Amino acid sequence: MTSSDTISDASSSPSSSSASTAATATKTSNYSTKERNCQTVRIPPIHRLAIDDIYHNSTDPDDKPDLDILKEHLLLEGRLTEQAALRIIETGAAILRDEDTMLTVTAPLTICGDIHGQLYDLFKLFDVGGSPATTSYLFLGDYVDRGYFGIECVLYLWALKIHYPDTFFLLRGNHECRHLTEYFTFKQECLVKYTEDIYDACMLAFDCLPIAALMNKQFLCVHGGISPEISTLDDIRQLDRFQEPPPYGALCDLLWSDPVQDYDSDKDNTSPIPQRRSSLPLDDLPPSLMTQPALPSPNEHLYLHNTTRGCSYFYTYAAVNEFLVRNEILSIIRAHEAQDVGYRMYRKSAETGFPSLITIFSAPNYLDAYHNKAAIMKYENNVLNIRQFNSSPHPYWLPNFMDVFSWSLPFVGEKVTGALLCILNICTDEELAEPDEQINSLIQRNNRELRKEQLRIKIRALAKIAKTYKTLREMSENILALRGLTPLLNPTELLNNPEVKTETDVAASILRDATISTEERFSTAKVFDQVNERMPPPKLSRSVTTPVTIERTKQSSISDSPLQSMSTRKDLSSKVLISGTTQGLVKMRRASFASSSVVQMNNTTTTVKSYSKLRK
Amino acid sequence: MGQDISQIDSTDIQKMLHKFGKLDEDNSGALSANEFMRIPELTSNPLVERVIDIFDSDGNGEVDFTEFIRGMNSFASKGDTQHKLRFAFDIYDIDKDGYITNAELFHVLKMMVGNNLLDDQLQQVVDKTIIYSDK
């Protein structure tokens, strides 16, 4: 290390640093203590963009935010004032609120999957897909969490929605909710970069996001997939979407479900599907699709419990095919699962020869660990084009938006106490090994023993501190290496959980291993990230009792046996009543959102507060 | 911490003087960084130079015995959070002007981080901390 030279040089200079001029200051042989080290790294702008910086005519309620100014500022990691951010979020939310729960969209259209806060990759996406000024877009959700620029993604996407309300469309993903954003990083991100009011405004805006889109009357677009509680497109249209998604039920399933692992090789394609055009009442389906199968094969079931997510279902090819036929559509386009090449086409439908299911994923090098390509889909003139793209560089953040002092202090503590411990230890060795005659002559026997014991106690105490700091530091290092692969906020939690420590150790070493192949890296990252694909556990000690809490207890009593696909009509309708999906209820909920979402220029704080009242 | 590491009393001081003498090879009456580094465990410790620099209150590049005892005692003072925070602050404040600049923060972190982060990455997190901490 060369810094030892530099330190002694600094110390030997006669003038103390405070007497030096700003230009040269304390110049050691290697570096200055005044000049910023990496001059080529652009420093983020310090000032926040205000409403008048972004809007050219801010008193006009129809005025729109300047996209170029916003983009340039966000790229540099600049921030907005709370008022400016609120205005964009709430104006966007108002537009979303008035849209149907299932959008009707037409080709040409560019369909995009998960973004997950990867702002710099989002801008690359627009380079690849074309400017929203001239290109129609449909995003399938998951704009926040995992990546560290979620709020910037929201602000820019919402600004685009404001500019192009009729050609730019956003759907809801499973991450656009309070439960996941609290558990992962988006809430923390809002608190660090903005305020809790901004976070609350985002949650209310997310409640307004439509759930699905029907493209060209041929493609159902949704974040996760289909649900055993959804038989027709109308079932989706009639859902009450203006709420935190419950932990089970149709709204949950549409955002959370996945195709079964062996979707493509599922042999159950022999079930006789009657003529395509008839709409079948549920009771009348042929016996092979009924419940209580004689055979143990899981293929007899259309839906299985989704053990990966810990909630919702896996849907089979048979389930999808049944849905496509019943609703006379061609395919389902969804996102929700990371793909090595950015997309996946699944088994073709027997009737059409077209893939029954397509996954699209638009976050390249997901979590800075998967090393995957991203993709978007362009549908035009009855042709589906896939465009892939790679990741772009992005500024660095410590895990959970930690500042460098919180990050380094445990290490400083460990190393400093370690150094002092070394020095004290030398004294102890000395004292215990060679009784010094000089000392003996000065101290009585019992005093000597007392001194020894006191020193031993001091050493032990120091050693304890040193060990704690060491463990904390190792924890921090592992968090750093895994960046984004663990949502746990508190390093001391990790300290108390030896299981996690081992996993993170192993994962960290794997990530550092440069010789690992690309495929291995994707699948290894995926394995270690699997825990983060699950629905997070419910919050434990909350005094607020909401309907969602009660429903959670219900959920836990459902057994794990594969779900029988066929419920009677009666069961389904009773579920429908419980979840309150009547038209009247939807109208009421939408209206209650409407009354608070009017953008008030002068008093945006009041608006947000009324949102909060609504939520509780 | 159970027991306090408060006063290092006269007996301990005698012992430290003994060892201090052993480390002081050139009999200058003070320990330089090189002499400290004779303690084997210290060579792998990236913050030893910072600790020595803080002990070295008169800035002459070496730690004499008074500075040494004073430094040990000040660090070990009974439950004084303020004192310990000051010590932590001093770790980062290389030129001892009472301010931690962007450059100082970068370089102290660099000592600790080594090659686990690229310089540019480290600079970016330092920038954000400074910008958003500096009221």
> Which of A1, A2, A3 best tests the B interface by mutation, with the highest count of B CBs <10 A?
A3
CB count, 10 Å around CB of A276?
A: 11
Give Cβ neighbours of residue B100 (< 8 Å, ≥ 6 apart). Answer: B89, B92, B93
Q: Which of A89-93, A580-584, A597-601, B127-131 has the lowest mean pLDDT?
A: A597-601
**pLDDT at site A129:** 98
**H or E, element range at A473:** helix A445-482
CB contact under 8 A, B33 and A7: yes
A446 DSSP assignment: H
**pLDDT at site B40:** 84
Mean pLDDT of A233-257: 98
Residue spans of beta strands (DSSP E) within A513-572: none
**pLDDT at site B72:** 76
pLDDT tens across A368-406, in order? 999 999 999 999 999 999 999 999 999 999 999 999 999
Mean pLDDT of chain A: 76
pLDDT tens across A535-588, in order? 999 876 443 333 222 222 233 322 222 221 222 223 222 222 222 333 545 555
Rounded Cα distance between B108 and B91, Å, is 8
CB count, 10 Å around CB of A530?
A: 11
Identify the structural domains of chain B with CATH numbers, from first to last: 10-75 (1.10.238.10), 93-134 (no CATH)
**pLDDT at site A294:** 38
Rounded Cα distance between A380 and A388, Å, is 17
Largest CA distance in chain A: 109
**pLDDT at site A6:** 30
Alpha carbon A597 to its chain's center: 26
Is residue A99 within 8 Å of A210, Cβ to Cβ?
yes
Is residue A456 very low, low, confident or very high in pLDDT (cuts 50, 70, 90)?
confident
CB contact under 8 A, B15 and A422: no
B104 and A CB contact within 8 Å: yes
- Residues 21-80 of chain B with CB under 8 A from chain A are 32-34, 37, 39, 41-42, 45-53, 56, 59-61, 72, 75-76
Exposure pattern of A35-70 as b/e (b: 16+ CB <10 Å)? ebbbeebebbeeebbebebbbeebeeeebbbbbeeb
**pLDDT at site B47:** 93
CB contact under 8 A, B96 and A16: yes
**H or E, element range at B16:** helix B10-23
Paired with A137 in beta bridges are A110, A168
**pLDDT at site A448:** 66
**Please, is B55 exposed, middle or buried when counting C-beta atoms within 10 Å of its C-beta (0-12, 13-18, 19+)?**
buried
Is residue B101 within 8 Å of B133, Cβ to Cβ?
no
Is residue A384 within 8 Å of A352, Cβ to Cβ?
no
In the sheet with A313-315, reading across from the earlier edge strand, the strands are A258-259, A313-315, A303-305
Is residue A41 within 8 Å of B127, Cβ to Cβ?
yes
Q: How far does the CA of residue B10 sit from the closest CA of chain A (Å)? A: 10
**pLDDT at site A474:** 75
- Read off the tokens for A234: 């109308």
Name the one residue in this structure whose structure tokens are 């009011």: A197
- Read off the tokens for B79: 């439950």
pLDDT tens across A316-363, in order? 999 999 999 999 999 999 999 999 999 999 999 988 899 999 999 999
A444 and B CB contact within 8 Å: no
The dihedral through the CA atoms of A287, A292, A295, A299 has a sign that is positive
pLDDT tens across B18-61, in order? 777 777 878 888 888 888 888 888 888 999 999 999 999 888 88
Percent of chain A with pLDDT over 90: 56
Q: Which of A239-248, A302-311, A439-448 has the lowest mean pLDDT?
A: A439-448
Rounded Cα distance between A194 and A82, Å, is 7
Is residue A33 within 8 Å of B94, Cβ to Cβ?
yes
Residue A201's closest CA among A612, A616, A614? A612
Rounded Cα distance between A533 and A310, Å, is 9
Is the pLDDT confidence value at A452 over 80? no
Q: Of A403, A420, A436, which is closest to B133 when you measure between CB atoms?
A: A403
A108 cis-preceded (ω within 30 degrees of 0): yes
Is the pLDDT confidence value at A232 over 80? yes
- A175 as an active site residue: the answer is yes
Rounded Cα distance between A390 and A381, Å, is 27
Rounded Cα distance between A313 and A253, Å, is 7
Name the one residue in this structure whose structure tokens are 């997070």: A536
pLDDT tens across A132-170, in order? 999 999 999 999 999 999 999 999 999 999 999 999 999
**pLDDT at site B20:** 78
CB contact under 8 A, A41 and B124: yes
Look at A30 and B133; give whichever has higher pLDDT.
B133
Is the pLDDT confidence value at A49 over 80? yes
The angle at the Cα of B71, spanning B66 to B73, to the nearest 5 degrees, equals: 95
Residue A210's closest CA among A102, A116, A109, A112? A102
Is residue A157 within 8 Å of A196, Cβ to Cβ?
no
**pLDDT at site A31:** 74
Is residue A4 very low, low, confident or very high in pLDDT (cuts 50, 70, 90)?
very low
Name the one residue in this structure whose structure tokens are 């710099």: A120
Is the pLDDT confidence value at A288 over 80? no
Is the pLDDT confidence value at A191 over 80? yes
CB count, 10 Å around CB of A487?
A: 18
Look at B61 and B106; give whichever has higher pLDDT.
B106
Rounded Cα distance between B31 and B52, Å, is 9
Paired with A111 in beta bridges are A138, A377
Is the pLDDT confidence value at A600 over 50? no
Rounded Cα distance between A244 and A171, Å, is 15
Rounded Cα distance between B84 and B76, Å, is 8
**pLDDT at site A156:** 98
Q: DSSP assignment of A164-231, as one string?
A: -TTTEEE---TTSSHHHHHHSSHHHHHHHHS-HHHHHHHHHHHHHS--EEEETTTEEEESS---TT--
**H or E, element range at A103:** strand A102-105
Cα nearest neighbour of A426 on chain B: B19
- SS3 of chain B: helix, strand, coil, percent, to 5: 60, 5, 35
- 3 state SS of A388: strand
Q: Which of A71-85, A219-233, A255-269 has the lowest mean pLDDT?
A: A255-269
**pLDDT at site A431:** 54
Is residue A3 very low, low, confident or very high in pLDDT (cuts 50, 70, 90)?
very low
Is residue B54 within 8 Å of B90, Cβ to Cβ?
yes
Is the pLDDT confidence value at A201 over 80? yes
Paired with A343 in beta bridges are A360
Percent of chain A with pLDDT over 70: 65
> Which of B123, B130, B135 best tests the A interface by mutation, with the highest count of A CBs <10 A?
B123
Is residue A505 very low, low, confident or very high in pLDDT (cuts 50, 70, 90)?
low
Is residue A436 within 8 Å of B18, Cβ to Cβ?
yes
B95 and A CB contact within 8 Å: yes
**pLDDT at site A436:** 54
**pLDDT at site A25:** 38
- Read off the tokens for A242: 């203006």
Q: How far does the CA of residue B68 sit from the closest CA of chain A (Å)? A: 11
Cα-based distances in Å from B59 to A16, A340, B83: 8, 57, 20
Is residue A133 within 8 Å of A59, Cβ to Cβ?
no
Is the pLDDT confidence value at B77 over 60? no
Cα-based distances in Å from A129 to A132, A134, A152, A498: 9, 10, 20, 46
CB count, 10 Å around CB of A372?
A: 25
Residue A481's closest CA among A498, A506, A500? A506
Is residue A392 within 8 Å of A120, Cβ to Cβ?
yes
Is residue A267 very low, low, confident or very high in pLDDT (cuts 50, 70, 90)?
low
Phi, psi at residue A162, to the nearest 5°? -65, -40
Rounded Cα distance between B100 and B91, Å, is 10
